[in-house]
Amino acid sequence: MLSRRCASLLLSTTSTSLRRLASTTVPTSSSEAQVIDTDRVQKEVFKSISEQVDEQQRNRLFAVVYVNGRQWKVSDGDLINLEGNLPLNVGDEIKLEKVLMVGGSNFSLFGRPLLDASSVSVDAVVVEKKTTNPELKYVHLNHHQTKFLNWKSDEATVIRIKSVTAKPVEQ
Amino acid sequence: MPSVPRVDRLKPIYTAAKALNFGWRFSDFLKIPAYNGISRYTNQLHRITVRFCKQSESSVGVRNFIENQLIEIGKKNPSVVIYAQPVRNSNPSIRAEYGNGRTLQINAKNMTESEVSKDFHLLFSRSGEPVVKLESRQSALIPSIQGQWTPITWLPTAMNTEELPSKQFSDHKSTSTSATEYIIQNPPK
């Protein structure tokens, strides 16, 4: 499922067969790009990602999620400050479903543009709703007896990322 | 500008206000007290006191709020202690105390019922940390998982032993074939 949606798989752990394959079929000139895409390589990549993602290993994952009009790189326990008074109450648990990328210490998995929401889950809690610190808009026109002082303050919603988890890749 | 701006004259107020955005201000990173929300969320508001006058005109909104909405809010939030404290001839105020020991107070003088309600709900959803300018929109426990990227992070290690500049690493790499390459590969008949 994950495999259908992922565009490219980068694996920094150099497995022996990957290296062997790369060395046996050396491109004739360095300008030629080469796509390594055989079933065997795919299986190996999927297998090693599944090991990394496994919950028993307790590897720390991060994800790039799209919330509030921007992309956030989040991991477990992160706080993010969203602009505006969002239709959420304090203490609400939400699941961030627009996940653009998931990564661990040894792999990165990109969606095009999104990863499947059922395979990656980013859970979050709303921990605070507050006002932002006021910014001042000050205008003073000399000799015109004109002064404007606007205190501009907006509302903000603070979210805590509870967990970033992913399901193992199906083969 | 003096180091402590005077606020007893109108002009210094404006001058001081002008400097506020550019001068020194409190700023901090995004924080939530007591690791709240890491395993579960607990409401940080512990008790909230509404002070009002039973007769003066400036407390009308607060009195209406107490009459119409306060009981409902109390039932919904059993963890919060709510006091309604009539004080004769006082300015109405709402005072909230939080788990981190801080107190917030809002002056509710001449507020309407809806304004009082809005502020009351704001105090309920606050964590008790002071509102300051944020240094960053996000705060993370661990800054990077894959390590910080540098320009040489993904360079091939073969470059380490090579005498530079070498032709192998100086080639321009492109996925599209150049006109020269195309002619070499498909020579004209």
Domain boundaries, chain B: 42-131
Amino acid at the residue B28: D
Question: Could you give the CA distance from residue A59 to residue A7 in angstroms, rounded to a whole number?
Answer: 23
Q: Evaluate if residue A38 carries a pLDDT over 90.
A: no
Say if the Cβ atoms of B124 and A108 lie within 8 Å. Answer: no
DSSP letter for each residue of B140-166: -SSS-SS----TTTTS-GGGGTSPSS-
Cα–chain center distance at B179 = 55
DSSP A164: E
Q: Which residue has the higher pLDDT, B20 or B102?
A: B102
Query: Residue B33 above 60 pLDDT?
Result: yes
Burial of B95 (0-12, 13-18, 19+ CB in 10 A): middle
User: Can you give the three-state secondary structure of A2-56, one letter per residue?
Assistant: HHHHEEEEEECCCCHHHHHHHHHCCCCCCCCCCCCCCHHHHHHHHHHHHHHHCHH
With a cut of 90, say whether residue B44 has pLDDT above it.
Answer: yes
State the average pLDDT over residues A116-122.
93
Which residues of B fall within a CB distance of 8 Å from A90?
A: 41, 43, 124-125
Looking at the domain that runs over B42-131, which CATH code has it been given? 3.40.30.10
Residue in chain B closest to A31 (alpha carbons) equals B173
pLDDT at A4: 38
B interface mutation test: which of A23, A83, A133 has the most B CBs within 10 A? A133
CA B66 to CA B84: how far, in whole Å? 8
Sheet holding A70-75, edge to edge: A6-11, A107-111, A99-103, A62-67, A70-75
Q: How far is A4 from chain B (nearest CA, A)?
A: 24
Q: What is the pLDDT of residues B142-178, one digit of tens each?
A: 989 999 989 888 888 888 888 889 888 888 888 898 8
Q: Which two tokens stand for residue B66?
A: 């107490």
A108 in contact with B, Cβ within 8 Å: yes
pTM of the entire structure?
Answer: 0.76
Q: What is the pLDDT of residue B136?
A: 95
Q: Which residues of B touch A136 (CB under 8 A)?
A: 17-18, 20-21
pLDDT reported for residue B5: 57
* pLDDT at residue number A22: 42
Interface mutation vs chain B, best among A106, A126, A127, A147, most B CBs within 10 Å: A127
**Per-residue pLDDT for A40 more than 70?**
yes
- Which helix (DSSP H) or strand (DSSP E) does residue A66 occupy? strand A62-67
Residues from chain A that touch B175, judged by Cβ atoms under 8 A, are 33
Identify which of A103, A133, A138 has the shortest CB distance to residue B17: A138
Residues of B in contact with A93 (CB under 8 A): 41
Round the CA-based radius of gyration of chain A to a whole number and report it.
23
Q: Looking at the predicted complex, does its ipTM rise above 0.90?
A: no
Predicted pLDDT of residue A18? 38
Kindly state the average pLDDT of the residues A128-152.
91
Q: What does the pLDDT average to over B118-139? A: 94
Rounded Cα distance between B132 and A133, Å, is 5
- Residues from chain B that touch A149, judged by Cβ atoms under 8 A, are 14, 17
Q: What is the pLDDT of residues A44-74, one digit of tens each?
A: 988 999 999 988 888 999 999 999 999 999 9
Query: Residue range B175-189: average pLDDT?
Result: 90
The per-residue pLDDT for B8 is 59
At A26 the pLDDT is 47
- Contacts B10 to A, Cβ<8 Å: none
Distance from CA of A24 to the nearest CA of B (A): 17
What pLDDT, on a 0 to 100 scale, did the predictor assign at position B54?
97
Confidence of residue B186 (pLDDT cuts 50, 70, 90): very high
- Contact across the interface for A89 and B145, Cβ inside 8 Å: no
Strands (E), chain B: 27-28, 45-52, 81-86, 93-98, 103-107, 133-134, 138-139
Q: Partners of A120 in the beta sheet?
A: A166
Sign, CA dihedral A92-A97-A101-A104, equals: positive
B182 reaches A (C-beta below 8 A): no
Q: Does B105 touch chain A (CB under 8 A)?
A: no
